[in-house]
Structure 1
Amino acid sequence: MTSILIGLIVLGLKGLAWWLTGSIALYSDALESIVNVVTAIGALIAVRLAQRPADATLPYGYHKAEYFSAVLVGVMIIVAAILILREAFFGFLAPELPDAPVQGLAVSGIATVINLVWAAVLIREGRKARSPAISADGKHLMTDVVSTGGVLVGLVLVFATGIAQLDAVLAALVALNILWSGWGVIRDSVGGLMDVAVPPETQRTIREVISANADGALEAHDIRTRQAGKMTFIDFHLVVPGTMTVEVAHAICDGIEAKLREAVEDVQINIHVEPEDKAKHAGIVVL
């Protein structure tokens, strides 16, 4: 809810800056803020949906809902960029110098400071919670801050030189920057939807934990991981001596799972126990 409130405040300020100046560049900045509000609403819905517990319909949980929200963010960013490019094109054909430079720049500057602070908060909290939706929202806001900063510097040049076409050129540059941001958000989200593996450093931690806590087993192979929102899924085959009882093998699995839960947050683990004749002698982890 805070993101939506801040988005509405920033949208109002940027809309006021555009109304005061008539600048196409500031219009593009205000249009991007509309995207910010829409995506903040999408992120709120996705985060709440992702927190729902697994059920019979979705036995692995609702964690991937956040990736759909992040894809929506990327699509909205691209749509905004296309609209901005359209305005920039017509503005370049019929250029006009913006009005009220000092007031417009001041109002836009205040909006940018608010966005900067909130973007930093969202990025930090998104990483802490391992939330793709919150992280995408924060990264998009930070892109907005950078593009607005460029617009403000550029508008100073417009007013100083009197070259009205620069206003349209600035808007086009903002649009290109937004397009790049949108592509990055969609690329990262599609990776999550495709069951991308956890980062290499996390994979190393998982291997080390299994190796150090599987006393009595012979080998672990076919270790696979995937990320779905903040949840990490781990599954592998654990080879044990053929004479080992089910009770002892189960105890080894419990020990490994307990240590993995200490090392990796929000994790679901599936271990398939096999007899020694199933050993591959080339597994990822040999104990």
Structure 2
Amino acid sequence: MKEKRSIIIVALIVSIVLMFAKFSAYFITSSNFILTDAAESIVNVIASAFAFFSISLASRPRDVNHPYGHGKVEFFSVFIEGTLIGIAGITIVFKGTYSLFFPHEVQKILTGAIIIGITGAINGGLGYYMINRGKKLNSITLEADGRHLITDMVTSAGLVIGLTLMYFLPYPWLDSGLSVIVGIYIVVTGYKLLRKSIAGLMDEADFTVVNDIVNILNAQRKVEWIDVHNLRAQKYGHELHIDCHLTLPNYFDLNRVHDEVKLVDKLVNRNANVKTEFFIHTDPCLPNCCHYCSMPNCPIRSEPKNIDIEWTMENVTRNKKHFEQ
């Protein structure tokens, strides 16, 4: 968690410095096109500040009021960031459209292009670093902030190209027209972040995560684990919570059942690369399970095994034993 906070603090400091650099470029050139990047840099600063707050809150241990921890705040952080990006993009589109009809003179274009190019390169390097660390640390906030910086880098690259065109093609409408295009791109980026945050807040199924868990269980399943069903996964920041039903032989005593449940927990936590909390409900096997059960020397078997059922996301997530599929 200390590493997450350190990365966000660095991102916040860099964002403040680059914001002043971009506004300097705007005041030098009076370019609406550059203003699009400068306006978005304000969002970078606010987003990094809120990301620092959310990561600090998410690091708090679970308590009576928050039995699953505070990790959900990271989705709220992404929601705020996406909203701010969207507002900035809409504002840029309106201002650029207005300036298409009432253009003004742009000056010292190459100076502005150099400043924007440098800020874009810095944001790109920092953004890629934050995305990689965010994935490794399972932090949606770091990853979202990093993608925002990558968006800033792409925007800056487009600005440099556009400013170069403006230098050689001095059309009055070109500055505003390009700013509208960039504004639309920023709006789309904000929408994607909003979509991702709402999916997390609404506990939308993350099929990639569920599929990874199913593959781990399927690859290392034991004969005692007759079937797994009603598997559901929820992400709370850097932690994953899973509940499922595990069918075991009905003649196992409570100690044996506990050992098998604990083994499933250890297996996933060792291989899933994400801290996972399991809530496993155990079901006793039924006679209808025999035809796909591999348990050797079973004292209650009613029929021989005649089929292998591979665990897939489809049959593991259903609230039914596999013979009911």
Alignment correspondent of 2:303? none
Alignment correspondent of 1:229? 237
Pairs within 5 Å for 1:1-287:
1-200=9-208, 202-209=210-217, 212-264=220-272, 265-277=274-286, 284=316
Alignment correspondent of 2:312? none
Alpha-carbon contact 2:120-2:157 (below 8 Å) kept: yes
Percent identity, aligned pairs only, is: 27
Find the aligned partners of 2:279 and 2:54 in 1 and give their Cα distance. 26
- Residue 279 of structure 1 deviates from its aligned partner by 7.1
Identify unmatched segments of 5+ residues in structure 2: 1-8, 293-308, 310-314
Find the aligned partners of 2:86 and 2:211 in 1 and give their Cα distance. 34
Over residues 85-144 of structure 1, what are the superposed CA-to-partner deviations in whole Å (9 max), with x where a residue is unaligned? 222122111212311122222112211111111111111111111211111111111111
- Residue 254 of structure 1 deviates from its aligned partner by 1.1
- Residue 51 of structure 1 deviates from its aligned partner by 1.3
Which deviates more, 205-214 or 130-139? 205-214
Identify unmatched segments of 5+ residues in structure 1: none
Indicate how the Cα distance of structure 1 residues 208 and 5 shifts in structure 2: closer, same or farther if over 3 A, else same: closer
Find the aligned partners of 1:59 and 1:104 in 2 and give their Cα distance. 51
Find the aligned partners of 2:216 and 2:96 in 1 and give their Cα distance. 55
TM-score for the superposition, normalised by structure 2:
0.82
TM-score for the superposition, normalised by structure 1:
0.93
Find the aligned partners of 1:185 and 1:157 in 2 and give their Cα distance. 31
- Residue 40 of structure 1 deviates from its aligned partner by 0.6
- Residue 242 of structure 1 deviates from its aligned partner by 2.5
Which deviates more, 224-233 or 262-271? 224-233
- Residue 230 of structure 1 deviates from its aligned partner by 1.9
Runs of 4+ in 1 over 3 A off after TM superposition: 198-202, 204-208, 277-283
State the number of aligned residues.
287
Alpha-carbon contact 1:214-1:252 (below 8 Å) kept: no
Indicate how the Cα distance of structure 1 residues 159 and 207 shifts in structure 2: closer, same or farther if over 3 A, else same: closer
Alpha-carbon contact 2:216-2:268 (below 8 Å) kept: no
Alpha-carbon contact 1:115-1:142 (below 8 Å) kept: yes
Find the aligned partners of 1:272 and 1:149 in 2 and give their Cα distance. 53
What amino acid is the match of 1:274? D
Which deviates more, 175-184 or 239-248? 239-248
